[in-house]
Amino acid sequence: MTYLAWIVAFIASILLTPLVKRLAFRVGAVDRPNYRKVHADIMPRLGGLAIYLAFLIGILILRPMHEAMLPLLIGSFVIIVTGVLDDMFEISAKAKLFGQLIAATIVIFFGGIQIDTINLPFSNGELDFGFLSIPVTIIWIVGITNAINLIDGLDGLAAGVSTIALITLAGMAFIMGDTFVIIMATLLAVSTIGFLFYNFHPAKIFMGDTGALFLGFMISVLALLGFKNVTFVSLVIPIIMLGVPISDTFFAILRRLLNKQPPFSPDKSHLHHCLLNVGFTHRQTVIIIYGIASMFGLAAIVFSMAKLWGGILLITVLLIAIELFVEIIGLAGSNYRPLLNLVRNKSK
């Protein structure tokens, strides 16, 4: 039955995307080129609606049972409505945040999804978040939701990176024996792959905020479900798994602070912009970022099986590699090169 649901969701995504494309033009959900956009033509967005509908079809076939199922579906519906409104009318950032907060609140209070405690390494101690558990969980959900949205700047980029994260998440859930997360992650992955047939460069339709917010929301919640018994290690795993959107968001904020700009102001210096500026083509840039996301996914799986000191070594190597890569391509700004400058000074 699972294989049937995968096939049906995949085919449904392929069949629904052209219909959603026509709908996007009809309701005015289009993306017009400007100084921040890479594309030069008016493009239909709203493509995330096809992913969502295909995913729901798969859910109706399998009908997975879980206490968080209904709250997750209601929360995702709120996210979809928020994304559709933004794709049609370009609502304010505050309105989008409001929709995300409602969705996060639904899964927390009615689905029982929240980060309560973290077992600390090197000791038998435990960090209890207490009354901060709900705010911390909201920050996680909203943060990952927007991180996926921020990398949605090239054809097929957010859809591909999300698919890699979902496959990694399904792999981790398989190791842990979590059937519900496996079903949800794989159904969402095949629905997104079907959409990629129209979204990979040169794209015929964009997923828009409808897709980016939906994928980000689902990944953030499924990651919490998959690692519900939160230890220090299990909290780090989804962070590594989502290394591309998280690091891009972190360095975007750092870049703006260094340039004395508002931390969430839009610019044209994200990871994909930097790679394009280096000289890579549109398609090469997307494939490179796919490769980076895959390495993060593999690192997350290795980290989950490593001993404590091995995990620390892996994290250290990852952080140094990220920092060097960021400085070389100028992700945090052309003048931000502390590690490279340190190496140069020592070599003199």
Which parts are annotated binding residues? 149, 209
User: Residue 245 is encoded by which pair of tokens?
Assistant: 């959107």
- The three state secondary structure string of 302-329 is HHHHCCHHHHHHHHHHHHHHHHHHHHHH
The Cα–Cα gap between 159 and 87 comes to: 17
Q: What is the DSSP string of 136-160?
A: HHHHHHHHHHHHHHHTTTSTTHHHH
The Cα–Cα gap between 179 and 221 comes to: 15
Which stretches of the chain are assigned E, i.e. beta strand? 30-31, 43-44, 117-119, 126-128
Non-local CB neighbours of 283 within 8 Å, separated by 6+ positions: 201
CA distances from 139 to 25, 81, 105, 115, 214 (A): 34, 21, 11, 11, 16
- Tokens 């190597």 found at: 317
The Cα–Cα gap between 76 and 214 comes to: 6
**Residue list, annotated binding site for Mg(2+):** 149, 209
The Cα–Cα gap between 202 and 179 comes to: 36
Q: What is the DSSP string of 194-218?
A: HHHHHHSSSPSS--HHHHHHHHHHH
Grouping H, G, I as helix, E, B as strand and the rest as coil, residue 115 is coil
Counting other chains too, the contacts that 37-41 makes at CB distance below 8 Å and 24 or more residues apart are: 38/153, 38/154, 38/276, 38/282, 39/155, 39/203
Would you say how long the chain is, in residues? 348
Partners of residue 231 on adjacent β-strands: 119
Grouping H, G, I as helix, E, B as strand and the rest as coil, residue 166 is helix
